[in-house]
Amino acid sequence: MITTDPHESSAAYVLHALPDEERREFEAHMAECESCRREVADLRQTAALIGRSTAETPPDALRARVLGQVATTPQDPEPDPGTGAARDPGPRAGTGRPGRRSPVRALKLALAASVAVILVCLGLAGWQHREASDARASARHYEQRQANLTKVLTAPDVRLASQGLVEGATASVTFSRSEDTATLAVSGLPRLPEGRTYEAWFMDDGTPVPAGLLSRDPGRQVTLLKGTLDNASAVALSVEPAGGSTSPTTVPLGAVPLPT
């Protein structure tokens, strides 16, 4: 039996975290509660967006580039079985010794080959180290991002707020004050020209605080907002120069009020 306010069970219901009895009771309540039906629909949409955004894996650039390097590197030809690999090439024209290099020239070739191999090995080792470091950093970034998104969705006080923006675009903020974490999901925003980007802001007592950048062509995107919620009453969105601003330089496209 549901012992808490059924309106607080929406997130757990969407995440299939309710026991069977509580799930049935919540579904019975939801059949008569329009606000819960709307919140469940919004949470499902946000969860779907987050699922798509976290399903991507860190790029395996190292393997792809190594395979590409192998594919474009000339290989030694296979010996012709009809001629024999160890056949003596015979006398060379213009030399007094049949099929032999001078010792000095052979030594120079051997030294040059050794130096080339050492340089290639050193260069490849350094390149592989950089690629591996980049891959590890990317993996840590994706893992941390997914952990934070999961944390806000499973928080006991998770809330969802939505608001229409300009030109039919929409924005939804999923947030937890106990976890001090928030995500911004947008859809329908137009692509910006080069040198411009979308920037999110926490509105704290009327003062905008930078909360992260979106791509200039966000499409349907979920962004884990940076900074702390504190007493933020809304999340606003504006168009800023590439790299972002310390305070808005244009009129905000809209703001999503955050209930307390």
pLDDT, average across residues 99-119: 54
Q: How far apart are CA 210 and CA 192, in angstroms?
A: 19
Q: Residue by residue, what is the 3-state secondary structure of 101-129? A: CCHHHHHHHHHHHHHHHHHHHHHHHHHHH
Map out the domains of the chain as residue ranges.
6-55, 159-257
pLDDT over 60 (residue 245): yes
SS3 165: coil
Band of the pLDDT at 182, cuts 50, 70, 90? very high
Is the pLDDT assigned to residue 104 strictly greater than 90?
no
Cα–Cα distance, 128 to 134 (Å, whole number): 10
Q: Which residues contact 184 (CB under 8 A, 6 or more apart)?
A: 171, 172, 173, 200, 211, 212, 214, 222, 223, 225, 235, 237, 256
Instruction: Tell me which of 113-117, 132-136, 214-218 is least confident.
Output: 113-117
Determine the angle formed by the axes of helices 34-54 and 103-153, rounding to 10 degrees: 170
Q: Measuring CA to CA, how many Å separate 39 from each of 25, 224, 260?
A: 17, 20, 16
Which position has the higher pLDDT, 184 or 54? 184
Model confidence at 42: pLDDT above 70: yes
Dump pLDDT digits (tens) for 200-211.
Answer: 999 998 899 999
Domain 159-257 = CATH 2.60.40: yes
- Tell me the pLDDT of the chain averaged across its residues: 73
Q: What percent of the chain has pLDDT over 90?
A: 21
pLDDT at 234 over 50: yes
pLDDT of residue 237: 95
pLDDT of residue 66: 45
Q: What is the mean pLDDT of residues 60-71?
A: 50
Q: So what's the architecture of 6-55 in CATH? A: Orthogonal Bundle (1.10)
Show the tokens assigned to 112: 């040059």
pLDDT for res 207: 92
Closest CA to 162 of 252, 39, 7, 11: 39
Q: What is the mean pLDDT of residues 92-121?
A: 52
- H or E element, residue 184: strand 181-189
